[in-house]
């Protein structure tokens, strides 16, 4: 029997919450394994990446929201049952961990809408997104140390960059998880909202981003991510090049004309 899709993709109607622009061009991806607290199996990760790559190539899609089915978990980690039988050789021979690199290559902005557990690979998945909206019931952590391993999908690198060495050391060496509020105070998440509003608030934020000129949005995402990869001198040079390149777009002409004419711009995405 086929297990059915592990990741659902939908294009939601305008969110009822808030006064933001309607979320046209927003895709909602839902990790749909609530019986296993949305644990990220290799098959699930492959499906997720395939779905995001398709959306990334879709000119009508301007922002994605990623969430977990149910209210208990965004994702409680990589699938421990699947990892239990692995060896260094089997992990090296497979290409399953390369999916995480493919996720990194997505140009579309992605917002994680997190309720409940975002642990291990779940926390790493949230951090691989560009923004995180956390419900008050969210918990973030890297408990891999309790399993005799370490974070293997970016946790040691992304958590350290997000919250600094001292706090990352503590969380990763003890496996302690933190509340949404502690995560916000540490700079890990953008927004903490009442639990029931998490998805609507993430969709609202996605709608605001989707209402911006898409080429500039992608360029901004790429340059911000560049900051974590390069020296200030090289990053500033790359930013200047990207900035200059945007002056060839119709959206730049429209944005500046609309400002001068005191009207709202209409973006063409070119």
Window of 32-40, 129-137, 188-196, 233-241 that interacts with ligand CAA by CB under 6 A: 32-40
Task: For residue 188, give the nearest of 176, 198, 196, 178 by alpha carbon.
Answer: 178
Please confirm, yes or no, whether 144 is among the known catalytic residues. Answer: yes
Span near ligand CAA by CB under 6 A; candidates 119-127, 184-192, 200-208, 254-262: 119-127
Tell me: does residue 77 bind ligand CAA (CB under 6 A).
yes
- Choices 11-19, 145-153, 216-224, 245-253; region in contact with ligand CAA by CB under 6 A: 145-153
Q: In the annotation, is 78 catalytic? A: yes
State which residue, 157 or 208, has the beta carbon closest to ligand CAA: 157
Residue 97 CA to residue 94 CA, distance in Å, equals 8
Q: Is 44 in the site for ligand CAA (CB under 6 A)?
A: no
Contact 196, 173 (CB under 8 A): no
Q: Of these, 29, 78, 132, 193, which contacts ligand CAA (CB under 6 A)?
A: 78
Within 226-255, the residues that bind ligand CAA by CB under 6 A are none
In the set 120, 135, 207, 214, which binds ligand CAA (CB under 6 A)?
120
C-beta atoms surrounding 144 within 10 Å: 25
CB neighbour list of residue 55: distance below 8 Å, 6 or more residues apart: 9, 27, 29, 61, 64, 108
- Minimum CB separation of residue 149 from ligand CAA in Å reads 6
CA distance 183 to 114: 12
Nearer to ligand CAA, 35 or 261 (CB): 35
Listed ranges 46-54, 117-125, 181-189, 199-207: which one lies at the site for ligand CAA (CB under 6 A): 117-125
Q: Is 74 one of the binding residues for ligand CAA (CB under 6 A)?
A: no
* Distance (Å, whole) CA 115 – CA 63: 20
Would you say 36 and 44 are in contact if contact means Cβ atoms under 8 Å apart?
no
Q: Which of 15, 27, 144, 182 is catalytic?
A: 144
143 binds ligand CAA (CB under 6 A): yes
User: From the list 23, 121, 135, 207, which residue makes contact with ligand CAA (rule: CB under 6 A)?
Assistant: 121
- Residue 75: CB atoms within 10 A of its CB come to 31
Least gap, CB of 94 to ligand CAA (angstroms): 13
* Angle subtended at Cα 161 by Cα 160 and Cα 166, rounded to the nearest 5 degrees: 40
Instruction: Decide whether 39 or 215 has the Cβ nearer to ligand CAA.
Output: 39
Active-site annotation holder among 25, 120, 121, 141: 121
The residues carrying an active-site annotation are 78, 121, 124, 144
Residue ranges that bind ligand CAA, judged by CB under 6 A: 36-37, 39, 76-81, 117, 119-121, 124, 143-144, 147, 151-153, 155
């Amino acid at each position: 029997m086929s297990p059915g899709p592990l990741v659902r993709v939908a294009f939601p109607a305008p969110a009822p919450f808030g006064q933001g622009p309607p979320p046209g061009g927003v895709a909602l991806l839902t990790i749909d394994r609530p019986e296993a607290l949305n644990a990220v199996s290799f098959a699930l990760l492959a499906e997720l990446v395939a779905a995001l790559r398709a959306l990334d190539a879709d000119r009508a899609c301007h922002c994605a929201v990623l969430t977990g089915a149910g209210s208990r978990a965004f994702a409680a980690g990589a699938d421990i049952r699947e990892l239990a039988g692995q060896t260094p050789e089997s992990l090296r021979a497979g290409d399953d961990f390369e999916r995480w690199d493919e996720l990194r290559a997505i140009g579309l902005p992605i917002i994680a809408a997190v309720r409940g557990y975002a642990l291990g690979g779940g926390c790493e998945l949230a951090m691989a997104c560009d923004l995180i909206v956390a419900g008050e019931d969210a918990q973030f952590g890297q408990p891999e140390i309790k399993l005799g391993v370490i974070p293997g999908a970016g946790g040691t690198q992304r958590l350290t960059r997000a919250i600094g060495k001292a706090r990352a050391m503590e969380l990763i060496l003890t496996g302690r998880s933190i509340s949404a509020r502690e995560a916000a105070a540490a700079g890990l998440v953008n927004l903490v909202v009442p639990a029931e509003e998490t998805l609507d608030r993430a969709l609202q934020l996605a709608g605001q981003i989707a209402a911006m000129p898409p080429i500039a949005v992608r360029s901004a995402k790429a340059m911000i991510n560049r900051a974590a990869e390069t020296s200030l001198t090289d990053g500033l040079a790359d930013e200047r090049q990207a900035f200059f390149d945007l002056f060839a777009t119709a959206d730049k002409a429209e944005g500046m004309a609309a400002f001068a004419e005191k009207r709202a711009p209409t973006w063409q995405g070119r």
